[in-house]
Amino acid sequence: METLQHKSAIVLGAAGKDNMGQEIAKHFLRAGAKVMVAGRKESVLAEFAEAHGCAYALCDITDKAQVEALVDKAVEVFGAVHIGVNATGWGLMKPFLDTTPEELAAMTALQFHGPFYFLQALVARMTQGGSIIQISSATATIMLDNHAAYMGTKAGIDHVVRAVANEFGARGIRVNSISPGLTDTPMTTGAFSMPKMVEAFAREYPLGRVGTKQDVAEAAVWLANDACFMTGQNLQVNGGLTLRRNPRSAEIMAAISG
């Protein structure tokens, strides 16, 4: 069913082969949307665009000028932008006391400043209303060891999402976050190479399994649809994980060694 027919979308963070951004883009295309994928690796973007019949553009989300140029290009190509998705991220796992100023600056640029720029650029150009979706994380709500910089920046931009939703709802702009838990993507290849680690996480999920890219993409299609009467919310697409907790590092190590 083409629930996004006559809609145009930008999916930023789709320059990783088979990553979450690419899965969201594929779901949008199947739902009838015109899509521009964006990110920092032209060869990957060009390959995806050719294979799926969509547009692509280079963009480093940490550069405000590039973000604005991306949205301008989408408006030029499509005539308007109705949907914007930010699926960029960096899964830094580092003890709190060992996190360097350089790592903190890089994480903040990627997961707070950049999404802030993207929100600004989209809101300024969404003259016909629209839906903006920020890919967040269950760890913006619940704890995970050695993940403080990632968690803090995700939680911070979630609150900005609420602020933008509140301010611009009168213009028909809806802004929401999606929070997956552990999900099989290129970012988590290391974890998924250790089945016992995945099992340790899955035990904490009330629905009995960890998430998939498809779970997140299907939620994104719903949020992008005009029938979605939701804004300023953090949609917990993680099988109920946030009702419980992530396993602690010692539990993970015990599972792996056991």
Min mean pLDDT across 47-51, 64-68, 96-100, 192-196 is at: 192-196
Q: Is the pLDDT of residue 28 over 80?
A: yes
Task: For residue range 167-180, list pLDDT tens digits in order.
Answer: 999 999 999 999 99
Checking phi first, is residue 197 left (phi over 0); if not, alpha (psi -120 to 50) or beta? Answer: alpha
Burial class (CB in 10 A: 0-12, 13-18, 19+), 90: middle
Distance CA 59, CA 72 (A): 12
pLDDT band for position 87 (cuts 50, 70, 90) = very high
Domain segments of the chain: what residues? 8-184+212-240
Q: Average pLDDT of 188-193?
A: 80
Which carries the bigger pLDDT value, residue 181 or residue 1?
Answer: 181
Contact 153, 192 (CB under 8 A): no
**For range 107-113, the mean pLDDT:** 98
Angle at the Cα of 159 from the Cα atoms of 28 and 138, rounded to 5 degrees: 65
Mean pLDDT (whole number) for 26-43: 98
Q: What is the pLDDT of residue 212?
A: 96
Predicted confidence (pLDDT) at residue 84 exceeds the cutoff of 80:
yes
Going by pLDDT thresholds of 50, 70 and 90, the confidence category of residue 1 is low
pLDDT of residue 193: 81
Predicted local confidence at residue 240, as pLDDT = 97
Tens of pLDDT along 121-145? 999 999 999 999 999 999 999 999 9
Average pLDDT over all residues of the chain: 96
Pair 21, 6: CB distance under 8 Å:
no
Domain 8-184+212-240 in CATH 3.40.50.1820 = no
R_g of the chain, CA atoms, integer Å: 18
Q: Output the CA torsion 154→155→160→165 (10° steps).
A: 100
Report residue 168 as tokens.
Answer: 């611009």
Instruction: Please tell me what DSSP assigns to residue 129.
Output: B
